[in-house]
Amino acid sequence: MVIDPQHIIPRNQHRVSKTDISANALKVLNRLNSAGFQAYLVGGSVRDLLLHKAPKDFDVATNATPSQIRALFRNARIIGRRFKLAHIIYGRDIIEVATFRGEEIEAADQRTNVRGMLIRDNVFGTFEQDAWRRDFTINSLYYNIQDGSIVDFTGGVLDINERLIRIIGEPIKRYQEDPVRMLRAIRFSAKLNFNIATETASPMLQLNTLITHISGSRLFDEITKLYQCGASEVAHNLLIQYKLFPILFTQTYALFDSDYPVHQLLLIIIRSTDRRILENKPVTPAFLFAVFLWFPLRAKTKQLKADGLPALAALEKAMSEVIAEQNRVITVPKRYTQIMREMWIMQYRLPKRTGNRAFQMLQHPRFRAAYDLLIMRAEAGDEDTTLADWWTTFQAQDVTEQMRMVQDVSQRTEGVIR
């Protein structure tokens, strides 16, 4: 296959070098090439190498079909429902290998639903077609290990130099095909500190509601990636600017102008997440969603109590309703909502410290997360700082002093479900 030389950037005219590429990715590329297939490094890895950043993972594009890939690699797993991919597994390191995908030209109406969204997208295509169906120009650069060149059909190198997120093709059509591209544009803009090109940005305000047609579990993955991109403060502001936030977090947004310190709390969790990512500390979506939904939970509990439910019953019902409502758009997996519930219940237990309670609470597997939420609430002005300080001190004392602290609490009033 001959590639128009105008799309080829030779090895001496860019800064990607073979030595930057993981040994496993090289192995995959070499084996595909040796078997006579075209194979390129593509996507985030080429983009990040051009930006002198360490790639998160290495993706490969090839003209070998999934079954041909499987025949070449003992350690290949074919995955995916919407489109089939191969994962080549080297322990914890996975190289994702995708067969070139084609454009949705002929009989497009059969593969898109009434809203123009792609429902079937597994048509193999040529190298160049693969480039045009990717999302952004900066993600559509291909590195050829055989001669060290980069193949750029869509103008991605120029956009990398100008630090621009530009969607490939006709923006409205591309967002209609897959509305998740709006969230990806925002994530890459924040993470890379790139601007979004005007034509790429402007349709988003008018197409934002399309996001509700995406499955809740895919949205959960995308939103988690967005808030864990390390620059989530910027990403969050873009979600608000493009009016995506009210669609994604309706209950939280509804309280933006309330008396609850919603903005303060969101800013605290967002900045803390960015800091933790920067320091390579672990983060969990359970914590993020527990914080985002904290005030909706407070408001709902209050309302149910006013309706006459006893405090604990109101809290239980409010937790279920708030989670169910959130799940209508972003489906939070059970393993996380379970943790969120425990963190929430503990907010109402942390003020009650008499007898054995404080000591039991320290042993609770969710104590640390619940305590961290308490600290953030205190910082936001949602809880008395003396309670947060009490727990901070309590953890640092020996048992004798801890018992004295508990004695001291008994003299005072204890918290109730508000």
Residue type at 325? E
What is the total count of residues that contact ligand ATP (CB under 6 A)?
12
By CB under 6 A, is residue 180 in contact with ligand ATP? yes
Of 3, 7, 44, 305, which one interacts with Mg ion (CB under 5 A)? 44
Q: What is the DSSP letter of 167?
A: B
Residue pair 265/295 in contact by the 8 Å Cβ criterion: yes
- With contacts defined by CB under 6 A, name the span among 51-59, 105-113, 142-150, 331-339 that binds ligand ATP: 51-59
Quote the least distance from Cβ 96 to Mg ion, whole Å: 7
Nearer to ligand ATP, 98 or 265 (CB): 98
By CB under 6 A, is residue 130 in contact with ligand ATP? no
Instruction: Give me the sign of the Cα torsion angle 31, 34, 35, 40.
Output: positive
Tokens of residue 33, six digits:
């090439």
For 80, left (φ over 0), alpha (ψ -120 to 50), or beta?
A: left
Beta bridge partners of 79: 85
By CB under 5 A, is residue 116 in contact with Mg ion? no
By CB under 6 A, is residue 102 in contact with ligand ATP? no
By CB under 5 A, is residue 148 in contact with Mg ion? no
Q: Could you tell me where the beta strands, DSSP code E, fall in 232-306?
A: none
List active site positions: 57, 59, 135
Residue type at 332? V
C-alpha radius of gyration, the chain, whole number: 25
By CB under 6 A, is residue 43 in contact with ligand ATP? yes
Quote the least distance from Cβ 230 to ligand ATP, whole Å: 11
3-state secondary structure (DSSP) of residue 73: coil
User: Length of the chain in residues, anyone?
Assistant: 418
Given Mg ion, ligand ATP, none, residue 383, with its beta carbon under 5 to 8 Å by kind, binds: none
Please choose, from the candidates 333, 334, 300, the residue with its C-alpha nearest in 3D space to the C-alpha of residue 319: 300
By CB under 6 A, is residue 152 in contact with ligand ATP? no
Nearer to ligand ATP, 135 or 152 (CB): 135
Contacts for 406 with CB less than 8 Å, ≥ 6 apart = 353, 354, 355, 358, 359
Q: What is the DSSP letter of 352?
A: -
Beta bridge partners of 94: 89
Beta bridge partners of 59: 42, 96
Of 14, 59, 200, 374, which one interacts with ligand ATP (CB under 6 A)? 59
Of 99, 137, 139, 154, which one interacts with ligand ATP (CB under 6 A)? 139
Given ligand ATP, Mg ion, none, residue 321, with its beta carbon under 5 to 8 Å by kind, binds: none
Closest residue to ligand ATP using C-beta atoms: 44
Nearer to Mg ion, 42 or 387 (CB): 42
Of 14, 85, 135, 291, which one interacts with ligand ATP (CB under 6 A)? 135
By CB under 6 A, is residue 81 in contact with ligand ATP? no
Interface residues with ligand ATP (CB under 6 A) are 43-44, 56-57, 59, 134-135, 139-140, 178, 180-181
